[in-house]
Amino acid sequence: MATSQARSSPGPDGAEGLSGERLVGAYRTMVLARTLDERCLALQRQGRIGFYAPHAGQEATLVGSALALEPDDWVFPAYRELAVALVRGVPLQAIIDQLFGNADDLCRGRQMPNHFAFRDQRFVSASSPIGTQITQAVGAGIAAKLRKAPIATITYFGDGATSSNDFHAGLNFAGVYRAPTVFLCQNNEWAISLPREQQTKSATLAMKAEAYGFPGVVVDGNDLRAVHAAVRRARARAVAGEGPTLIEAQVYRLGPHSTSDDPRRYRPDAQVDAARQRDPVHRLRAELGTAGLLDDAADAKIAEEARAALTAAIAHAEAAAPVEPLSLFDDVFARRTPRLDAERAEAAQHLAEAKRP
C-alpha cells in the first residue's frame, strides 16, 4: 500500500469544492488566526495571559482541513488548532476569554491557556500530554460506527507525536477496526527542539500508515486547496466504512513551540527565512490576487477588521470579572454531595473572613 502525494485542483474555482467566495472566506480566517497569534504572543510577553502555543505557518493546513469537515464531525485537537475552532464557528470572544481565564471562560479558568473545549462545535478539550488525543479520536470514531452515525472524527498532532505510544496504539486499533478517523499529522519539522530526522528514519511520516493497513498521504501543508482535498477524500472514505487515513501535512512552525520556548537556541535563522518564503497566508493572498478575487483595498480591510475584532475581544476579556472561587465546587458532580456542600460552606466562610478589614 503505497504512500501517495496529494495535490490541489488547478484553480480557485477548481473541482475540489472551494469556490472563490469560500477561498476568500478562508483567507479572512487565516488572517484573523495570524493576527491572533501575533497579539497572543505579545499578551503573554506583557504578562497579561499565562501561556500560548503559536500556529503561524500552519494556517493553511488548519483552515483547509476544517473546511472539509461536516458540523457533526468531532475534532480532537492538540494545542495549535485555534484556526480550526474559528472555522467551526467558535466565537472569537470565547477563545480570548479562555486565554484570560475570566468568569466568562467556558472552562472557568480550570484549563491552562490555549487548552480549549467547545462542546457546541464538537471541539474536544486539548491536552498537553503528547498524543493522547489520538486514541480518544479512535474511540469516539468506533462509538459513532457502532451507532451507525454517518460522521468522522479527526485528530491533529505534530511530527513528535508519531513517536508516542498513543500513536501506535491508536493507529493499530483504528486499522484493525476500520475506525472512521482522519489522522492529520502537522509535520512542522520540529518536536520542540528535536528535528524530525533525529526522531524517526522513515522517509515520510505518512508511510507509517502502511504498517497499520490503511492509506497514508503526503500533502503540501502550505497549499490550502491541497489539504482540503486530501481531508475531504479521507472523510469520504471514513463515512463510507472504508476505514482511516493518515495525512502528513508538511509545514513549518514559524514561531516558537510555545511561549516557554526560544527557537533561536536550536534553529538557524536561514532555515526560518527560507520557510517564510512559503508562508501560507502570503501564498493564498497571491493566488487570490492573481485570480482577481482580492485587491489591495479589500485585503487591507480584512486586516483592519481582524485587528479591530481582537482589540475589542481583549478589552472585553480584561474587563470581565474573575472566576467565582466557590464555583470550584459546582463542577465535580452533576449534583453536589453533602460533603461538597460542607466543604463549600467552609470555603465560603474563609473567603468572607479574608475580606474583613
Element (H, E) at 225: helix 224-239
Write the pLDDT tens digit of every residue in 133-165. 999 999 999 999 999 999 999 999 999 999 999
The answer to whether 12 touches 20, Cβ cutoff 8 Å, is yes
Position 14 scores a pLDDT of: 41
pLDDT band at 19 (very low <50, low <70, confident <90, very high): very high
pLDDT tens across 275-319, in order?
999 999 999 999 999 999 999 999 999 999 999 999 999 999 999
pLDDT at 332: 87
Average pLDDT over residues 204-215: 97
Query: Of 28, 196, 232, 257, which one is the catalytic site residue?
Result: 257
CATH number, domain 4-322: 3.40.50.970
Instruction: Tell me the pairing of strands 245-250 and 181-187.
Output: parallel
State yes or no: is 253 an active-site residue.
yes
Catalytic residue flag (residue 266): yes
What is the structure's pLDDT at 214? 98
Displacement of CA 167 from its chain's centroid (Å): 17
Residue 13 is predicted with a pLDDT of: 39
Nine cell digits for residue 312: 475589542
Mean pLDDT of 260-282: 95
**331 pLDDT above the threshold of 80:** yes
- Ordered by start, the domain boundaries in the chain are 4-322, 324-357
Cα separation, 236 vs 195, in Å, equals 33
Spot the catalytic one: 45, 110, 264, 266. Answer: 266
Q: Catalytic: which of 253, 267, 278, 285?
A: 253
Mean pLDDT of 206-215: 98
Q: Is the pLDDT of residue 7 over 60?
A: no
The Cα 94–Cα 141 span in angstroms is: 27
Question: Could you tell me the pTM of the whole model?
Answer: 0.93
Mean of pLDDT over the chain: 94
How far is 261 from 315, CA to CA, in rounded Å? 27
How far is residue 312's CA from residue 18's CA, in Å, rounded to a whole number? 31
pLDDT in tens, 51-69: 999 999 999 999 999 999 9
